[in-house]
Amino acid sequence: MGRLFGTDGVRGVANADLTAELALGLSVAAAHVLAEAGTFEGHRPVAVVGRDPRASGEFLEAAVVAGLASAGVDVLRVGVLPTPAVAYLTGALGADLGVMLSASHNAMPDNGIKFFARGGHKLADELEDRIERTYRAHASGEPWDRPTGAGVGRVKDYDQGFDNYVAHLIGVLPNRLDGLKVVIDGAHGAASRVSPEAFSRAGAEVVTIGTEPDGLNINHECGSTHLDKLRAAVVEHGAALGVAHDGDADRCLAVDHKGNEVDGDQILAVLALAMREADSLRKNTVVATVMSNLGFKLAMEREGVQLVQTAVGDRYVLEEMKANGFALGGEQSGHVIVLDHATTGDGTLTGLMLAARVAATGRSLADLAGVMERLPQVLINVRNVDKSRVGTSQELAAAVNAAERELGTTGRVLLRSSGTEPLVRVMVEAADHEQARKVAEHLADVVKTTLG
């Protein structure tokens, strides 16, 4: 049996892989593990529980709440809010644990469970491993030690969470957005109310698309994975920029006034220079992953900003930032972490800070994003292969080496197994798009034949 926890919590098809029984069991296990670790010592434990609008989130939330309360944890149920909002409220309310039910950018049938430790930080790998071991031990028959009477957890709806989080976002903005027209695509997800409200309160004129979740339409042909509708809306409404979130709003991609995409690398570049100007880019360093475009690295070198690169996954970016006191980091996919104001990627905060830079400088987003030139990059997702063998296949290694020799110093190759989906990602970067495409397609074929 494979590991339950991936790079971003436990994720799978709701009611098939991720069942109510699993959600309940993991929640009880999390409560016991944190109690044993001393997190609850000396007080009655409290958890914040939120979700995105997926239909399956309704029964999974009920299971998680039941599991926590049955283990003696009081629950504050905040309803539909973004992942970073649940992380923020976990810290702001002094809760011992946060739980978010979401599968982020995945299609509607999927769902996931993500745990946050006290302070709103992602749980350490070691704690996730202990939760999984504890869950498996009890799933095989070992009885739980259960509280009774007044010892069981109490459950309350915490309706102030929405306003508390929006007020936090507005409070950390460097300047207002008055006079700026912004289109927001909420992906019919967790930010459908939060993001338009925050931009409006900050002074922007807001046009919305993808902000009518019905439990079934999350991420469907909208949001950060489908930008066409946002591009069209920005041009149609003559907006200064557009902002696109994913289902749980921990990421943000943007579109300039011409409808051109501004990806996570470009957003990082813009914010890095803005924060350096404000003397808040600690150690003059930005953290990104090995998936970042080579153009981002070259731009940071030219601007005199230090770049530290990590493995793919926002948790690794965050670990590097926390370990070395860096203030800004993120991924090309739009996970951007501003550690002074958030403990995880926050798509609404990122969009607000990007818009604030446009408002403050009077420059267009296209002009600001022009600080870096994106080199052609082709990404192919290869499905239905054994992703666990990516690092052990000699034939695949030989093909990668040959491709790297062909590209020379003008490009690079990156193969990695997805941490959240059953697939292998093949990324090729080159000075010429056609060359990148050919090399990527060849390597994707090799992955299919050797790992299929």
pLDDT at 291: 86
Please say whether the beta carbons of 414 and 424 come within 8 A.
no
DSSP H stretches of helix in 310-380: 314-324, 347-361, 365-369
What's the Rg (C-alpha) of the chain?
22
Map out the domains of the chain as residue ranges. Answer: 5-159, 163-369, 377-451
Residue positions in the annotated binding site? 104, 246, 248, 250
Percentage of the chain exceeding pLDDT 70: 99
Residue 194 tokens read as: 């939060």
pTM of structure: 0.89
Tell me the three state secondary structure of residue 233: helix
Q: Are the beta carbons of 50 and 161 closer than 8 angstroms? A: yes
List pLDDT tens digits, range 238-259. Answer: 999 999 999 999 999 999 999 9
Per-residue pLDDT of 196-241, as tens digits, reads 999 999 999 999 999 999 999 999 999 999 999 999 999 999 999 9
- Reported as a single tens digit per residue, the pLDDT across 69-84 is 999 999 999 999 999 9
Q: What is the dihedral of CA 297, 299, 303, 309, to 10 degrees?
A: -20
Question: Encoding tokens for residue 182?
Answer: 């912004």
Average confidence (pLDDT) over 443-447: 93
Residue with tokens 């769902």: 111
Average pLDDT taken over every residue of the chain:
94
Per residue in 311-343, pLDDT (tens digit) is 888 889 999 999 999 999 999 999 999 999 999
As annotated, the binding site for Mg(2+) includes 104, 246, 248, 250
Which tens digit of pLDDT belongs to each residue from 148-197? 999 999 999 999 999 999 999 999 999 999 999 999 999 999 999 999 99
Paired strand residues for 96: none
| pLDDT range class, residue 1, cuts 50, 70, 90 | low
Per the structure block, which two tokens stand in for 420?
């959240």
**CA 366, 371, 375 angle in degrees (round to 5)?**
95
Measured torsion, CA atoms of residues 72, 74, 78, 82, in degrees rounded to the nearest 10: -60
Same-fold call for 163-369 versus 377-451 = no
The type of residue at 329 is G
The CATH code belonging to domain 163-369 is 3.40.120.10
Q: Which of 38, 28, 22 is nearest to 118 (CA)?
A: 38
* E strand or H helix at 185: strand 181-185
CB atoms within 10 A of CB 296: 26
Task: HSE, CB side, 13 Å, CA atoms: give it for residue 334.
Answer: 29
Flag whether pLDDT at 106 surpasses 90. Answer: yes
Instruction: Please list the active-site residues.
Output: 104
The CATH code belonging to domain 377-451 is: 3.30.310.50
Topology, domain 5-159: Alpha-D-Glucose-1,6-Bisphosphate; Chain A, domain 3 (3.40.120)
Residue 348, pLDDT > 70, answer yes
